[in-house]
Amino acid sequence: MYQARNETLNIAADQLLTYSKILGSHRVDGLLGFSAQEETYKYLQGNGNEFPNDQVTYLSAAIRQTSTSGEADWSLMAYFARANYSFNDRYLFSASFRREGSSRFGANNKWGNFPAFSAGWRISEESFMPETRWITDMKLRASFGVTGNNAIGNYSSLSNMGISNYVLGNAIANGQILSNFANANLGWEQSQQTDIGLDWAMFDNRLILTAEYYNRLTNNMLLSVEMPVISGFTQSLDNVGKVRNRGLELALDYRTKFNQVNIRSNVNLTINRNEVLEIRGENDEIWAGGFYSTYSVSQVGRPLAMFHGFKMVGIFDTDAEIEAWPDQDGAVPGTYKYFDANGDGVISYDQQDMIEIGNPHPDYVLGYTLGGDFKNFDFNLMFTGAFNYDVFRQIEGSTMNMDGVFNILQSGVNRWRSAENPGDGRGATSNTWKWQRESNSRYVYDATHVWLRNITLGYTIPKNPIVPNARVFFSAENPFLFTSYVGTNPDAKTRGGINIGVDDESYPMPRTFTLGASLRF
Amino acid sequence: MKKYLNITILCIGVLLFGTACDEEFLNKTDPTVLVSDNFYQTEKQVIQAVNGVYGQLRPWHLSQWQYTEFISDNTTLHFNQGDRGSGPSLEALEFWQYNPSTSNITNLYNSTYGIMVNVNTTLSKLPESNATDAVKMRSEGELRMIRAYLYFQLVQHFGDVIIITEPVSSPAEAFEYSRSPVETVYEQILSDLNFAVGALPASYGSDDIGRVTKGAALSLLGKVYLTRKNYSAAIETLNQVTSLGYDLLDDYADVFDPQNKNHQESIWDIQYQGDNQYGVNSNFIYTFAPRESVGAVIDFPGQDGGGWNTPTNEIIALYEEGDMRKEVSLKEGYTSLQGEYVGVPYINKFNHPHTIRGVTNDNWPVIRYADVLLMLAEAINEVDGPTGTAYGYLNEIRDRAGLDPINGLGKDAFREVLLNERRIELAFENHRWFDLKRTKTASELVTMLNAYGLRERANPTTSREGIPFSNNDFVFEAFELLFPIPQDQMRINSSLIQNPGY
């Protein structure tokens, strides 16, 4: 039995000073503000195991009892100002500034400054624009803004003491050691984003095109990065690097009517390109993951978190083949043949011959919705898709391991068995500790997919005196997945941050069928 | 009217939060733990910080066998065909297949600096604490002795190493350090040890037994001098240890008996405690016992060992007839619970009855008096040849083992005999690798170790179950006398220089 009392106290104080004035075609408004917020979370939890009877259901009756309590808190403080100006609803300007402090950052860097500007031009309001069905409304907009991120844990900049006991005089002697690295300089991650967009409505809003170009530069990213271990620790949360995400978002919304059939359709396309511009120094790299999973490497000039590993070029069938290949010590027939990337004649058992073997970022992401109704019937379809990207199927390190200690994938029957019976190019890991489980391209799969996420069919029952509003519907979630990816979920982002696209075989996406009715009286 | 109201509220806000409590409001520390900024102040905290360093030596010593015995000709592994999962981490050390990515070398390097940071942080905070001068002096002595010990390990394993004696305040600062030459590392070690010799007491009251003493500092200093081939300084230093009241125990088995901890022969033992669940126990026998011994070696139903650090055929054969140490130090096999004899050898020194599975009570001897006597004999022989005093120390050790005294050797022969005596007397106590590196040249070692490797390949101590060796298994090259600097450290700090050969 588990019982808990949690208490969250969130106190916020906001003061606003606003001003607004309309002078003919000019409209001005402004705002000054101050905000302070503090949250305190306290908990008290008790666990009881082994109750002598079912009648007394309180922790005090349990034979084994444990309890714990704790507290966590954070605070924020901000000063801000904003001014808007518009002329004739045709030219729109806005400027704002926010200075914000967070308790989560180091003593030296608690405060960040976040300015933003935007301008809009409603072209369709201009007198020189012709009155045409092609232009119902057209607006060009541009903005620049800086935003901050403090989504790290509370107290992340501080170092705490941890227990490291010893034995002195044959008795336990309490000992205390540092449990993490204190970084008094830890501060805001800041993103500078520039947007240029066009909103264009045509044919009385029946066709709406939205196009937006964005360029986001993220500076001082909050990452847990490696540091020289002479500091006592191998990792610390720090502000490092600069990453650019730029891309295009296009959306087309179309509605029409054929006789009694209403059709609504929306397609949106996102093309994002991601590039690391800077880490600590020019040649610096961030390596996440490991030798026996995959390395996610962030290098200047490349996208974040590219998969690195050996390039698997085949399976050794015979000893003669091993002899003929660059020295891959310990290889036996049935182990993977790796590419000698640095050309030194030796595949060394470390990172020297590892190269980029995959890219976890899709070239483009697509969403499509189609809906409609006819008389009392309605339907809706929703597709999502992501194209040309890789997933590292980490799980196969164990589900293709033939040592007899794991459950094996069914496809394991097609494994390599001998030169005469080579199977489908997957090795069986047995009796050698090398050249099978290392990060290598064999585990990289293209995860391009289109997913029919939802189908809904509905029927609205005609108005009647008993139930004025009634609808019955059938809906299916995730009914169809079109992909060559062998895992259950090509969209599984089972790890975050700078270690993305690694499939540890999360739970498959459930396919849900619902038959429902909604009645309103 | 509304405007004025807003201004009023804003002003109250600024008054409430905007001025005095501005910084205070944003200072949040975790109330459920001790924050290091506020630690190291009282005497109790200083002592806890020093204890914490000792506490780190506890897990650190559980794995040192890998780098000093296992890698040498003393021990090998109980081959496990069904699970080669420890291949890259442990087999790599045994077969001299290590490289900069070998995880257990990374672990050694990282965990050593992981202790160093607590030594350095405590040392830096010590002067401002309100501990008494006596506690400050003793604590500084303890910390600098441990620091010297750690750098001595590092310099012997890695050669040039980064010397850091203060805590860094930002990640960026940690990138500014580079490796110091071996000579400079030894200067640091000598400076710390000389301080410790002066600062540490010869003994402690009953509550503090287990802390490092003047005797431990002198013994370590003597070992450093011996390693540096400064033999006269070694003799002078180690001679001081002989007047501190240490003595050999009569029975070799008593030296390792947990019922008899911190005895007259102990100079520095890492303290462990079993028979409770406080997590300060050792578990050596669980690593060292044969893999499929199923309760026959470790007396718990179904309990297997790890099958690591298995005594080689060679060391077993080296014991002289009648050497009473053999049965204490190792067993050549065991009788299974079904009554069958299984010829898989194992280290027995740290195998004692205990009440909780996995929780043993054995201390780890870092320096004991027998080591000091053998070091003295070694240093004397290098200066004056095998004098009567040198023979006296050697034969004191042999006499306890029930062996006849040795006499009448030349200097070189005496050196060889001493090395063998150390191999037997201090077997499996993490001396062998350093003893070899201290007493042999690189080319001698290459010859010797490759010859040993060929013999192990031809006739492995434990069955390979038909699995062949890799071509490079047991092939030793001179550069492998030093471990590589871990790849992770090389990668993030391009100014670091790797040891040659890697």
Domains of chain A, start order: 2-520 (2.40.170)
pLDDT number for residue A404: 64
| Range 438-477 of A in CB contact (< 8 A) with B | none
Contacts of A431 in chain B (CB under 8 A): 81, 84, 467
* Structural domain contains residue B324: yes
Q: A173: which chain B residues are within 8 Å (Cβ-Cβ)?
A: 51, 54
User: Radius of gyration over alpha carbons of chain A, in Å?
Assistant: 30
Max Cα separation, chain A? 95
Token pair recorded at residue A135: 């232009």
| B115 in any annotated domain | no
Nearest to A230 among B58, B174, B470 (CB): B174
User: What pLDDT score was predicted for residue A405?
Assistant: 66
**Position B320, amino acid:** E
Are A166 and B210 within 8 A, CB to CB? yes
Higher per-residue confidence, B70 vs A182? B70
A residues 281..340 contacting B (CB < 8 A) = 281, 283-285, 287, 291, 329-330
Please indicate, yes or no, if residue B291 is contained in any of the structural domains. yes
Q: Which domain holds residue B320?
A: 284-347
Query: Burial, A31: exposed, middle or buried (Cβ in 10 Å; 0-12, 13-18, 19+)?
Result: middle
Q: Does the pLDDT at position B138 exceed 80?
A: yes
Contact A329 B472 (CB under 8 A): yes
Residue B384 pLDDT greater than 90, yes or no = yes
**What confidence score (pLDDT) does residue A272 get?**
93
> Quick one: pLDDT at residue A238?
87
pTM to 2 decimal places: 0.84
Instruction: Using the predicted structure, report yes or no on whether residue B160 has a pLDDT greater than 80.
Output: yes
Q: Determine the pLDDT at residue B12.
A: 46
Helix (H) / strand (E) element for A202: namely strand A189-202
**pLDDT tens per residue across span B329-376:** 999 999 999 999 999 999 999 999 999 999 999 999 999 999 999 999
Domain annotation covers residue B323: yes
Q: What percent of chain B has pLDDT over 70?
A: 95
Question: Is A431 within 8 Å of B210 when comparing Cβ atoms?
Answer: no
Residues 366-385 of A with CB under 8 A from B: none
Residue of B12, B84, B175 lying closest to A433 (CB–CB): B84
CA distance A217 to chain B (A): 23
Tokens of B293: 């011994």
Beta strands in A280-436, from DSSP E residues, in sequence order: 285-289, 295-299, 306-309, 312-315, 336-338, 355-358, 364-374, 377-387, 390-392
Split into its structural domains, chain B has a count of: 1
Average pLDDT, chain B: 93
- Is residue B332 one of the residues assigned to a domain? yes
Residues 6 or more apart from A331 whose CB is under 8 A from it?
A316, A322, A325, A337, A432, A434, A435
Q: What is the mean pLDDT of each run of 10 residues along chain A (521 residues)?
A: 90 90 90 92 91 87 90 92 90 94 90 94 84 87 93 88 95 95 90 94 92 94 88 90 93 90 94 89 78 88 92 89 88 88 88 91 94 91 94 81 70 79 72 77 91 93 81 92 87 71 80 88 73
Contact of A22 with chain B, judged by CB distance below 8 Å, is answered with no
Tell me, what's the pLDDT at B468?
Answer: 82
In the numeric block, the tokens 């607006």 are attached to A139
- Asked if residues B176 and B197 have their Cβ atoms less than 8 Å apart, the reply is no
Min CA distance, B393 vs chain A (Å)?
Answer: 31
Which residues does residue A374 pair with via DSSP β-bridges, in sequence order?
A: A261, A377
What is the per-residue pLDDT across B173-195, written as a single tens digit (0 to 9) for each?
999 999 999 999 999 999 999 99
Which residues of chain B have a CB within 8 Å of the CB of A174? 48, 51
Q: In this structure, is residue B122 part of a structural domain?
A: no
**What's the CA gap between A448 and A360, in Å, rounded?**
11
Contact B417, B374 (CB under 8 A): no
From the CA of B426, how many Å to the nearest CA of chain A?
24
Work out how many CB contacts closer than 8 A connect A with B.
261
- Say how far apart CA A228 and CA B494 lie, in whole Å: 11
ipTM: 0.92
Contact B22 A77 (CB under 8 A): yes
Does the distance separating the beta carbons of B470 and A330 come in below 8 Å? Answer: yes
Residue B450 lies in a domain: no
Average pLDDT over residues B74-80: 91
Which tens digit of pLDDT belongs to each residue from B386-441? 999 999 999 999 999 999 999 999 999 999 999 999 999 999 999 999 999 999 99
Test mutation, A167, A223, A323, chain B, max B CBs within 10 A: A167
DSSP state string for A372-411 = EEETTEEEEEEEEEEES-EEE-TTHHHHTBTTSSS---GG
Q: B interface mutation test: which of A29, A77, A223, A433 has the most B CBs within 10 A?
A: A433
Query: Element (H or E) spanning B419, and its range?
Result: helix B411-425
- Cα–Cα distance, B91 to B433 (Å, whole number): 17
- d(Cα A198, Cα A207) in Å, to the nearest integer? 14
Task: Report if residue B142 sits inside a domain.
Answer: no
- How far is A507 from chain B, CA to nearest CA, in Å? 27
**Do the Cβ atoms of B366 and B270 come closer than 8 Å?**
yes
Q: Is the pLDDT of residue B21 over 60?
A: no
What is the distance between the alpha carbons of residues A481 and A222, in angstroms, rounded to a whole number? 35
